[in-house]
Structure 1
Amino acid sequence: MTDSRPEWAPAAIDLDQPSSARVWDYFLGGSHNFEVDRRVAEQAIAFKPDMPDLARQVRMFLQRAVRTAAAAGIDQYIDIGAGVPTMGPVHEIARETVPHARVVYVDHDPVAVAHGQALLADDPDAVFIQADARSPRAILDHPEVHALIDLDRPVAVVLCSLLHFVSADDDPAALVATLRAAMAPGSHLIVQHASHDGQSGDIIKMLQMWNANSPEPMYWRTHDEIENLLAGFTILDPGVVPLPLWRPEAEDRAGAAENPERYASYAAVGTKPGATAD
């Protein structure tokens, strides 16, 4: 039995198919998800009870990384695979430091896009577009991207919880290289990527369960494979590290150091070298 269709859900959405964006929204305590998403999410939680904490850790890393970019003076952002914007989205965090920061959110999920467009309807400096991350050139050439983002100046590109949905056949390295080529020197690349390094058999079973039930399978990678995706960027300290170890806030440091591998995820921020564009 499917959910009845809420007013905010576009007619084209298949209520019988789970979505990674909506499952993530459920982990974060959001309301833009369906029964099919909640069922898959609860199956994942059965294997890994701290999945909601993982979602929060990803969001906390994103916020720290955006603050780092904003402190460097970056006032424009492209968040690809943004999901349902919730719990401190990029435009809110960047504007703590850069009040007029401009942000383009990108996702292929219609629910994420519909909710994001409603949320940003009265914000002239932020938009949400529907596009597929596997076609980065189409994103860069999108008219709404051109309207808000000046690629001749430094930009921060966010790829959180995205690249592990890109298969080897779709070539995540080429995806990143296309983005890098379009980014001005001084730009930041913010990456979080799931990994099977050091994970138990139960976690691998969770991955297999997800891939068996979702139209969006995941492709977890090793530390070195993830580091290789950042080729051409200068990786900021502390490097490609377990998720909670990327510059934790003072109050979070003790907890971050306690079994950080439990989040099955690495995080990193790279900058494009060269003279910073004016």
Structure 2
Amino acid sequence: MEVSESSDRRAVASLRYLVYHIRVTNLRPIKTTYVNESVYEALERAILHGELPPRAALNDRRLAEMLGVSRTPVRDALHRLEGSGLVERRGRHGWAVAGLEPRDVEEVFELRRVLEPLGLERLAETWEGAAVRELSGFFGGFDEPLRREQYPEYLGRDHDFHKKIVACSRNSRVIGFYGILEQQIDRVRHYLSYGYEGRVEASLAEHKRICAAIGARELESAKGLLLEHLNMVEKTMVSFVESQDLERIIRERGIGE
């Protein structure tokens, strides 16, 4: 009888340990993960929207104070942003927002001219009905001339259109790489939106012609119009950066102060 009671006590003790052990091992650092991702997103957004302008020095201690976090998630975020090309090393322990030069724009568009036509080529293999309908009507809700208050919505639609074209490649590595490239595209697009008058109507017309060619299932026409559009946008962006309008906008709007 004593042996049985002793065995029961050991079994209960083992069960209590097991329950406790399961509870402990199932704990996850949810808050820490959330903080790390939130810090990264906050810094990424500040760079893309120009609140942290090109070549601005980044002090991890000051950024941590501004965000109300420790320096560790800030450093982790800076490392990730360095990997995506938005942040550069400065010395052994410092960082700075990557500069924005004409060559940066040219390199981005060289890659776009490779990746985006691939999406159209893959789409043309089947001309899948749902994808064709979606792309051909992508800018149907916009009429010329666009009002200034419509620019943010239009630029967002522009972003989604080109992303959708790349998604038609059905190549996960191409799509993933384009996702990194998008950060550079969006960064320039944000600054350009301040001085986009005179170009936005032409851009809308170009997009609608690309959509019409896709709707007609004319691959070569769609590719030619897409490349023509990318060349025109590149020319506009390079001219914008070379003209020093970027620096003027930063000064006038107090970006990064």
Same fold (TM over 0.5): no
Structure with the larger strand share: 1
| TM score, norm. by length of structure 2 | 0.23
| TM score, norm. by length of structure 1 | 0.21
Which of these two proteins has the greater Rg computed from alpha carbons? Answer: 2
Structure with the larger helix share: 2
User: Which has the higher relative contact order, 1 or 2, with Cα contacts under 8 A spaced 6 or more apart?
Assistant: 2
